[in-house]
Amino acid sequence: MRSAIENSVVILGAGIAGISAAYHLRKAGISAAVYEANATAGGLLDNFCIEGFRFDNAVHLSFATEPEVRAVFDRTPYLTHPAVSWCWDDGLWLKHPVQNNMFPIEVAQRVELISGFVARPNIEVKNYRDWLNYQYGEAIASRWSLPYTEKYWTVPAEQLGIGWIGDRVRRADLQEVLYGAFTSETPSYYYVSEMRYPCAGGYRAFIEPMIAEVDIHCQHRVTGISLSRRHVYFDNDRSTGFDVLINTLPLPELIALIDEVPEQVRTAAGTLFATSVDLISVGFRKADVQPNLWFYIYDNDILAARAYSPSIKSPENVPAGCSSLQFEIYSSQRKPQTHTPEEMKRNTMMGLQKMGMVKDEDDVLFMHHKKLEWGNVVFDLGMEERRAIVRDWLETVGILTAGRFGEWDYLWSNQAFMSGLRAAEAVKLRGVGQ
């Protein structure tokens, strides 16, 4: 028999967006209950430990500027790092972005790449492939951007839209390209100047002040939602009523859980998809194995698209005298993962040796595999229109959405925090719990 409780405001998912919503409601004097399927809160911002090494769930670094976010994050002592990343390409380390840092490349290749840039086509941009060719020219796009798109997004660039780009991809500039072709002493072209990371406790430490103040019920996986009864059901034979529901679960999962959904909405939700991430976390028995804080990998024979160093982010993440790396391998329903965890580990070892980070496998203490089912929302062509069908219907039935997967958008942690705050503001406007 189910055990039922009543909550005015129910929040599904204890990632940063759900926690932020509950936190800001509490500050307004409104109680909210957060339900989380996992054993701990934090979502993608949570972390895990292997043999004394701490790893985040993929790379996380803060460059938040919002006063609301900094008011919470800055309660936690943090380290700062310059926003400089690198790229591994066919035996060379190139500073990111590669088109602005071609000096290490052989002269004839530089000439060919720059010639292609100068002759880049003036075309109508209909998809991400068009955008890349228009920005960089076909030579640069074909060497780096197009292959990397398939590694990271799991679909060819011509199947992606361009609404997600914003400041995330550097626009082309002739002076920048030429300068980086003549010298290695180039400035950082990243969209922020510094990255912040907690001194201790992993990235999750930034949201611990909020976690401590909100009502979170872990190990409550949602199995069904009744709109007519205003009830949520969980896999532990419990349920809760609600006046307002804030959802941070992935939209396709949410729609599948609701009992009465129009067919058009269900169909649209079924077309939305995201990447999954296989994490290969590596602990080394020696310090300073890694060359830099994070880097992108262009070689196609290395499965990982990028990697980062937890031990550079904070020395507290590793035992004394050790270092660590975590590699990210992407897949999706459009490009399913066909490799076993052991195959991914062997490939990662090959990559470490190829990139000159280890010569002897004895330098590696362990390799650990973990799969994140939800990584990044994929902006395939027409996604925004299909997403709107789902979100508009949820609005009509009174369900609020927040976070990367609730809004189904490309949100960084600070943006997801603000998304949760906006959901709390919407609840206050409804006068719930007051």
CA angle centred on 60, ends 59 and 65, rounded to 5°: 150
Q: Residue 289: is its pLDDT beyond 90?
A: no
Task: Indicate the DSSP class of residue 186.
Answer: P
pLDDT tens track for 393-404: 999 999 999 999
Residue from 13, 23, 14 nearest 68 by CA: 23
The predicted pLDDT at position 430 comes to: 83
- pLDDT above 70 covers a percentage of the chain that reads 98
Tokens of 374: 């939800």
Residue reference for tokens 């960084």: 412
The predicted pLDDT at position 37 comes to: 98
CA pair distance 176, 151, nearest whole angstrom:
26
Average pLDDT over residues 5-29: 93
Residue reference for tokens 């991400």: 128
CA pair distance 288, 110, nearest whole angstrom:
31
Say which residues have a Cβ less than 8 Å from residue 255's Cβ, sequence separation at least 6.
261, 265, 266, 269, 270, 390
What is the DSSP pairing of strand 78-82 with strand 194-198?
A: antiparallel
The predicted pLDDT at position 6 comes to: 59
Tokens of 354: 């190829």
The predicted pLDDT at position 174 comes to: 93
Amino acid type, 5: I
Average pLDDT over residues 94-118: 96
Q: What is the pTM of this model?
A: 0.95
CA pair distance 18, 405, nearest whole angstrom:
11
The predicted pLDDT at position 408 comes to: 98
Q: What are phi and psi of 221, to 5 degrees?
A: -90, 130
Mean per-residue pLDDT of the chain:
95
Q: Is residue 284 within 8 Å of 75, Cβ to Cβ?
A: no
Task: Indicate the DSSP class of residue 274.
Answer: B
- Domains in the chain, start-ordered, CATH in brackets? 3-39+218-273+381-429 (3.50.50.60), 97-182 (no CATH), 276-372 (3.90.660.20)
Average pLDDT over residues 224-238: 96
CA pair distance 99, 141, nearest whole angstrom:
9
Amino acid type, 96: H
Tokens of 289: 């194995």
Average pLDDT over residues 2-27: 88
Count Cβ atoms within 10 A of the Cβ of residue 312 and give its class: 0-12 exposed, 13-18 middle, 19 or more buried. buried
Average pLDDT over residues 177-199: 91
Q: Residue 114: is its pLDDT beyond 50?
A: yes
Between the alpha carbon of residue 349 and those of residues 290, 303, 308, 311, 352, the distances in Å are 13, 11, 15, 18, 5
Say which residues have a Cβ less than 8 Å from residue 272's Cβ, sequence separation at least 6.
250, 251, 252, 377, 383, 386, 387, 390, 408
CA pair distance 87, 92, nearest whole angstrom:
8
Return the axis-axis angle of helices 413-429 and 16-27, rounded to nearest 10°: 40
Q: Residue 60: is its pLDDT beyond 50?
A: yes
Average pLDDT over residues 162-190: 91
Tell me the sheet residues that pair with 323. Answer: 284
The predicted pLDDT at position 433 comes to: 58
Between the alpha carbon of residue 11 and those of residues 216, 220, 399, the distances in Å are 9, 12, 10
Residue from 189, 194, 193 nearest 177 by CA: 189
- Which uninterrupted H or E stretch holds 368? strand 364-372
Residue from 429, 37, 31 nearest 249 by CA: 37
Average pLDDT over residues 172-194: 90
CA pair distance 113, 128, nearest whole angstrom:
19
pLDDT class for 127, splitting at 50, 70, 90? Answer: very high
The predicted pLDDT at position 192 comes to: 78
Q: Residue 190: is its pLDDT beyond 80?
A: no
pLDDT tens track for 302-353: 999 999 999 999 999 999 999 999 999 999 999 999 999 999 999 999 999 9
User: How many other C-beta atoms lie within 10 A of the C-beta of residue 237?
Assistant: 10
The predicted pLDDT at position 405 comes to: 98
Task: Report how far Cα 172 is from the mean position of its chain's Cα atoms.
Answer: 25
pLDDT tens track for 411-425: 999 999 999 999 999
pLDDT tens track for 361-410: 899 999 999 999 999 999 999 999 999 999 999 999 999 999 999 999 99
The predicted pLDDT at position 434 comes to: 53
The predicted pLDDT at position 4 comes to: 56
pLDDT class for 1, splitting at 50, 70, 90? Answer: very low
